Structure 1
Amino acid sequence: MNRLIHRTITEFLRSTYGEDFAQMIRDDRRSMAAPETPVTGFATAGLAFAAERLSKPLPDLYEDLGAWLTRIEPIRRLLRFSGRDFDDFLLRLDELPGRARLVLPVVDVPLLQVDVDDGAIWLTPSRPEIGWQHILVGLLRGMADDYGALCLISVHETAIRVDICDHSFAEGRQFTLYGSPGPGIVP
């Protein structure tokens, strides 16, 4: 599993910043010797080293990773299955850790508490780990785009606030339960 996390981080860095940058991070021993971050309990020191090399705050890199994950079709489909519109998706995010365990049982995604207050949706992870919090912000940003919603997403201490400004700001991406038809499958 640790290799899967490392491979995901490497692929994110490669597709976002190029092969040379990803190779530099992989090859530099400091990326493996840096202190561990608590995001998954796995080695994410490579991300910390990449953030340093990019002169980018680590929370921003986590957020970019979360947004990047939504562009991977199986992950996108798993997330889209959670709601018919962005509101429904947000209100059902408390189911996300269970869904994640179906796919990756050893990744300890924190439980999420979902609350509605003053028209805003608040998401509070059970463990206030900055990595998970910002990965979730990136996932939300990517999924808002996927649904075509315009929203403001902000971090308030250990919680995330989502204010939806326009539910149909843009045309959302197509989504069907059955996915792309394979050979012999008629939609």
Structure 2
Amino acid sequence: MNRLIDHALRAFLARTYGPDLARFVADETDVLRALPELPVVEFATAGLSRAANYVSKPTSEMFEDLGAWMTRIEPIRRLLRFSGRDFHDFLLRLEELPGRSHLVLPRLGVPALTIKAEDRSVWLIMADPDPAWQHLLMGIVRSMADDYGALCVISVEAAGIRVDVCDDQFAEGRRFMLQEAAVAGALS
């Protein structure tokens, strides 16, 4: 599992900050890769903390940037967009994220989420709050708001993330179809 996370971290750092930072972090975390029992979150936190120190950025922001970067990977974006017809629906279905993640990566350990909706606010509450997961999820939500064309304010408060949706049709969202154009053409 840590090899997969290591690969994702290297790709994120190389594409976002350049290959030099990715190599620096890879060299620094070689010892950690040899420890298969190290939990995924601790492994990722160690690598992102080194990268954050290198670029003088808080580790929480690195996790948020990682979450946003993940949504630009088209298969992940498509799975997330499949979760809801609009941004509000997407937020309400995030409760299913841990189960869906478990189907693909059983050892990832995405914390359980409870969703509470109040008027234009949606709370994403974690059973066991973890700052790494909170900020990663915050990055995913921020990026998906852009993808749907929604304007919102996102903040971490106590055990959860509060999303205040100001306008769910603020801008034109990215185009989304259930099947990619190449696949759709081949099926016609």
- Give the TM-score taking structure 1 as reference length: 0.90
CA distance in structure 2 between the partners assigned to 1:115 and 1:169 by the alignment: 23
Offset, 1:27: 1.7
Give the percent of matched residue pairs that are identical in Structure 1 and Structure 2: 57
Compared with structure 1, are the counterparts of its residues 42 and 28 closer, same or farther at alpha carbon in structure 2 (3 Å cutoff)?
Answer: closer
Distance 1:57 1:73 in 2: 27
- Name the SS of the counterpart of 1:113 in structure 2: strand
Range with greater deviation from structure 2 (137-146 or 93-102): 93-102
Q: Which residue of 2 aligns with 1:162?
A: 163
Superposed, 1:87-166 pairs within 5 Å as: 87-166=88-167
Shift of 1:15: 0.3
Question: Structure 1 pair 31/25, CA: closer, same or farther in 2 (3 Å)?
Answer: farther
Q: Which runs of 5+ in 2 are unaligned?
A: none
2:161 partner SS: strand
Q: Call closer, same or farther: CA 1:183–1:84 in 2, change over 3 Å.
A: closer
1:39–1:132 CA contact under 8 A, matched in 2? no
Q: Which residue of 2 aligns with 1:16?
A: 16
Distance 1:183 1:70, change over 3 A: closer
How many aligned residue pairs are there?
185
Q: Is the Cα–Cα contact under 8 Å of residues 112 and 126 in structure 2 kept in the other structure? A: yes
Give the deviation of 1:178 after TM superposition.
1.6
Q: Is the 8 A contact 2:67 2:140 kept in 1?
A: yes
Cα displacement (A) at 1:186: 3.5
**What residue is the counterpart of 1:3 in the other structure?**
3
71-80 or 43-52, larger mean C-alpha shift: 43-52
- C-alpha change, 1:59 and 1:179, in structure 2 (3 Å) is same
Q: Which runs of 5+ in 1 are unaligned?
A: none
RMSD: 2.3
Residues 65, 139 of structure 2: 8 Å contact kept: yes
1:31–1:62 CA distance, 2 compared to 1 (3 A): farther
Question: Which residue of structure 2 lines up, in the alignment, with residue 179 of structure 1?
Answer: 180
Give TM-score scaled by structure 2 length: 0.90
Is the contact made by 1:80 and 1:89 (CA closer than 8 Å) also made in structure 2? yes
